Each structure stands twice: as structure tokens, then as C-alpha cells.
Homo-oligomer: A and B are copies of this chain.
């Protein structure tokens, strides 16, 4: 099974990277870009787990390892079943 997990800073938390990227895009003339937030994406290959198990494991590892719940939030989706 292939799963994608998105991890990003909570909305209230400062995102210096996103800000800097936005400023750079402005300097290059892309004025229409109002805001940029940068996060991480993990694409994970799981073997021998049912969809139910995945629904347990994924939030668990996201919370414990992939994201830092103090400043980050996460979301996930299954890309390929099986």
C-alpha cells in the first residue's frame, strides 16, 4: 500500500521558509502569490497491512515520528491500495 502524509506547520506558527520563498517569488515578478507555507511530504510503502491497520498505524507514526505535534499538523491519504 502506498500512503502520502503531509506535514506542515500549524497555521499560527511562523514559517520563515515559506515567507522567504514568497519574497523571492515577488522579487522575480510573481506578484500574484500572496502566501506560501512550506511543509514536508512523506510517501510511504507499506506491506502486509490491511486498510484498517493502516488507518491506525499512519496517524500513530505521524504523531510520533514524522510530525512534531507541538508545532506541526498532518494529514494523509492512501495513494495505492494493496
Contacts and interface: CB of A to CB of B under 8 A. Distances in A.
Interface in A11-28: 18, 21, 24-25, 28
Contacts of A65: 21, 24-25, 28
A38 B24 CA distance: 24
A49 interface: yes
Contact of A39 (B35, B40, B46): B40
How many monomers of this protein are in the complex?
A: 2
A45 interface: yes
Contacts of A46: 32-34
Closest 6 CB pairs of A and B: A35-B45, A34-B45, A41-B41, A39-B41, A37-B43, A32-B49
